[in-house]
Structure 1
Amino acid sequence: MEDILRPIYQERASHDNTLGIIKIEKKHKAATLTDNFDVILLMIVKEQTKPIYIKHYQYEDKKAALHIVSEQQLKEWLLLGSNRKIVEWIYEGKILFDRNDYMEDLRNELKDFPFYGRKIKIGLEFAKLIKRYMDGKAFFETGQYLDAFNHIVHSLHHLGRLSIIENGYHPELTVWNQVKQIEPEIFKLYEELIKSEEPIEKRLELLFLASEFLIFSRTPVGAEHLLEVMETRDQWSMDEISNHLEIVHYGVDFSLLLEYLIEKDFIQVVEIETKGSGLFHRCYRIEK
């Protein structure tokens, strides 16, 4: 099929806007990596009107997809971890075109996993973990065990991804294979939740107790990025900190993360008087 697709990518490779093109072929053991397409062509461009442009092709019994992605969109995915397939595409793909070693340099950067990028990723993953854990606990306390189960499974998933990132690796699509090697304690918790024959209420009760310690022990690392940002000023209003250039990426997970860090004495609430009697503005600073 490559002969059929060659004119598509060769013509685009001649454009100055094109930075690199890689090909990812379907492997039977991981067909979902290519969304069940036989071939994915990933093209990175400096800029385009839409951040992502996708075209599908059919040739006899084969199907292919062309993904044209702006460099800015690619960087956002890599920073936020919001497209997990993209890392494996870059790792696994065959480089067809590489302007000034752009794709090769990108691969090397991903392998090195710069500490600064890792710190942001840890913060974002920790925020997701706290959100899922707190929501799951709230459902458990009101007797909604199936909803609590759903949230605690997701929280363990985020805990596993967090441990992988801490150890300097990018989480793969098959994250539990990585967790089993890197953090067997978390893997064991996950297995106990899924495979145990105990009633669901009992399983959840035991898991919340075990998770509480694991989460708290990771709080200094998980909150490091946020706390470093907050150290740059004496105090912050909610609007100021939530709209900070880096913290804005935490999105809907941020509010619960903030409350968790207040509860655990990492962040202090500062009350500032308003014109209303007994009413205060609520601001935040690093616990001193």
Structure 2
Amino acid sequence: MEQILRPIYQERASHPDTLGVILVSKRDDAMNVTDTFDYVLLIIVKEGEQPIFTKHYMYGNSKMVMHIVTEKRLRKWLFIGSNRRLVDWIFFGKALFDRNEFLYKLRSELQEFPFYGRKIKTGIQYSKLIRRYLEGKEFFERGDYLDAYNHVVDSLHHLGRLAVIDSGLYPEVTVWSQVKKIDPAIYKLYEELVMSNESLEKRLELLFLASEFLINSRTHDGAQHILEVMLTQEIWTIQDLHSHDELSYYSTDLEVFMEHLIDKDYIIVEPVIAKNESVFHRQYRIDKAFVESEYGL
């Protein structure tokens, strides 16, 4: 198949913006990794008119997909963990073109999983965990148990991914097989939720209690990245935070995360008078004394 696809990817490889080309073949033990396609051609470019450009091809009975992805979008996916197949493609795909060892360095980066990378990934997963937990608890308190169940499952996935990241590994598509080895306690919670003979209400009640404890125990690690960013200036508006290159990865979970850190005394709200003197802008700063005692920053 490489011979058949060569004219397609060689045209792209000749462009100076192309950083690497990877060919991924469908495996019998992981058919969904390629989104049901027989082959995936992943082309990574420095810049592009669109962050993602996709084309579908067929050859005989085989179907193929080509994704052209900018480096910025690739890194966003890797930070957020929203495209777990991508990690499999990078690790197990065949490198057909590698400009200046871009793919080699990227694989090494993922394998070594530098400490800074762990901090931002931990923060992003932790912020998602908080949102899913709070929304699930709201559904539970209203008696909407099936909606609450969906949110609890998601929150456990984020807990599982946090455990994997904390161990120095990268969460794979089969994250629960990793969690079973790395953190059996979280895996046991997942089993109890989906397999217990207790009523759904009782299972959820127990899971919310356990989740609350786990969320609180992980605040120290989950908050480290955002606190280090916020220490770079004295005062922040919410727009400042959303506009920051790294904090933009938190997306819609950022404000829920901020409120959580305010509740936990990591961040202080500073009221600033608006045009109407009875209304105040909310601005934010780190409680430096508290953070220094927690982290020694």
In 1, Cα distance between the equivalents of 2:202 and 2:253?
Answer: 28
Q: 1:50 is matched with which residue?
A: 50
Residue in 1 that maps onto 2:13? 13
Per-residue deviation, 1:81 = 2.3
Contact 2:76 / 2:249 at 8 angstroms: preserved in 1?
no
Tell me the CA shift for residue 3 of structure 1.
2.8
Deviation at 1:269, TM superposition (A): 2.3
Instruction: Report the Cα distance in structure 2 between the residues aligned to 1:199 and 1:276, rounded to whole angstroms.
Output: 52
Corresponding residue SS for 1:236: coil
Partner of 1:119: 119
Shift of 1:197: 0.9
What TM-score results when the alignment is normalised by the length of structure 2? 0.91
Is 1:266 aligned to residue 249 of structure 2? no
Partner letter of residue 117 of structure 1?
G
Letter in 1 for 2:284: Y
Tell me the equivalent position of 2:161. 161
The code of the aligned residue for 2:222 comes to G
- In structure 2, distance between residues paired with 1:186 and 1:68: 37
How far 1:277 sits from its partner (Å)? 5.8
Hey, what does 2:292 align to over in structure 1? none
**Per-residue Cα deviation, 1:128-151 (whole angstroms, up to 9, x for no partner):** 000000111111111111111111
Q: Output one character per residue of 1:227-249: Cα deviation in whole Å (capped at 9) or x when no partner.
A: 11222233323233333232222
Which residue matches 1:23?
23
Structure 1 match to 2:254: 254
In structure 2, what is the Cα distance between the partners aligned to 1:185 and 1:196? 15
Q: Is the 8 A contact 2:24 2:94 kept in 1?
A: yes
For 2:95 and 2:238, the matched residues in 1 are separated by: 45
In 1, the alpha carbon distance for the partners of 2:204 and 2:130 equals 16
Matches within 5 A, 1:202-217: 202-217=202-217
**Normalized against structure 1, the TM-score is what?**
0.93
Tell me the SS of whatever aligns to 2:146. helix
Instruction: State the 1:276 CA deviation.
Output: 4.8
Q: Could you tell me which residue of structure 2 aligns to residue 187 of structure 1? A: 187
Give the whole-Å Cα distance in 1 for the aligned partners of 2:243 and 2:17: 32
1:236 corresponds to which residue?
A: 236
How many residue pairs match? The answer is 288
Match of 1:285 in 2: 285
2:49 is aligned with what amino acid? Answer: T
Question: 2:39·2:64 contact (CA, 8 Å) conserved in 1?
Answer: yes
Give 3-state SS (helix, strand or coil) of 1:223's partner.
helix
Q: Secondary structure at the match of 2:30?
A: helix
Comparing 64-73 with 89-98, greater Cα deviation is found at 64-73
Stretches of 4+ aligned residues off by more than 6 angstroms: none
Q: Distance in 2 between matches of 1:5 and 1:125?
A: 37
Gaps of 5+ in 2: 290-297
Letter in 2 for 1:283: Q
Deviation at 1:274, TM superposition (A): 4.7
SS in 1 for 2:218: helix
Specify whether residues 21 and 147 from structure 1 end up closer, same or farther in structure 2 by C-alpha distance, changes over 3 A only: same
Distance of aligned partners of 1:89 and 1:213 in 2 relative to their CA distance in 1, 3 Å threshold:
same
